[in-house]
């Protein structure tokens, strides 16, 4: 097993979600020091059912709250951020576009801005979606495929990708 993650401080947003809780489990197995940003207690999440939550630092709050995100990154001297928190249910996004934009767009810029302000973060992984590309005639997608989401969820992911690129280009943030 690689020693890369051993004792590395990692922040995972969306750690109670499907991908997030498995990422937490894998990082713990690899020896990472995991901090999870948790908006709501989700007892049915594998994070809690598997009791992984006992092995990580929990910061209660949401990605829409910049001071909370900054505090988490600063307090735990985060080296790596995995930003998975999002409103991912397309039906909900269509019914509640503003809430979706708050979480998916503002949440992403808050993560990036907190990393920029605090400094010291070596890598930032921003989860995206193929929906950010909208309907394309040419598949598979490439890094040069235009972002052209049309519906609230799709647009939120297109915006998050563009904001991530702006922070990479403008500030040199290590965004993946």
Q: Say if strands 80-83 and 57-60 run parallel, antiparallel, or are unpaired.
A: unpaired
**DSSP string of 125-144, one letter each residue:** EE---GGGG-S-SS-S--TT
* CA-based torsion, 45, 48, 51, 52: positive or negative: positive
- Tokens 């004792």 belong to which residue? 7
- Assess contact for 111 and 68: CB atoms under 8 A: no
At 176, list the tokens. 């993946």
- Assess contact for 36 and 53: CB atoms under 8 A: yes
Is 167 catalytic? The answer is no
Active-site pick, 153, 167, 168, 171: 153
Catalytic residue list: 153
């Amino acid at each position: 097993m690689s020693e890369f993650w051993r004792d590395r401080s990692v922040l995972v947003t969306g750690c109670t979600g499907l991908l997030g809780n498995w990422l937490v489990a894998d990082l713990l197995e690899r020896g990472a020091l995991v901090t999870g940003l948790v908006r709501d207690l989700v007892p049915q999440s594998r994070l809690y059912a598997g009791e992984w939550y006992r092995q990580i630092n929990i910061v209660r709050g949401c990605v829409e709250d910049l001071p909370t995100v900054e505090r988490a990154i600063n307090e735990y001297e985060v080296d790596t951020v995995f930003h998975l928190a999002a409103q991912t249910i397309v039906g909900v996004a269509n019914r509640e576009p503003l809430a979706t934009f708050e979480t998916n767009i503002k949440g992403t810029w808050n993560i990036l801005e907190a990393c920029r302000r605090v400094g010291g973060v070596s890598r930032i992984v921003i989860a995206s979606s193929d929906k950010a590309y909208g309907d394309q005639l040419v598949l598979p997608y490439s890094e040069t495929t235009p972002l052209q989401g049309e519906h609230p969820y799709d647009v939120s992911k297109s915006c998050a990708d563009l904001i991530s690129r702006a922070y990479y280009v403008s500030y040199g943030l290590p965004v993946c």
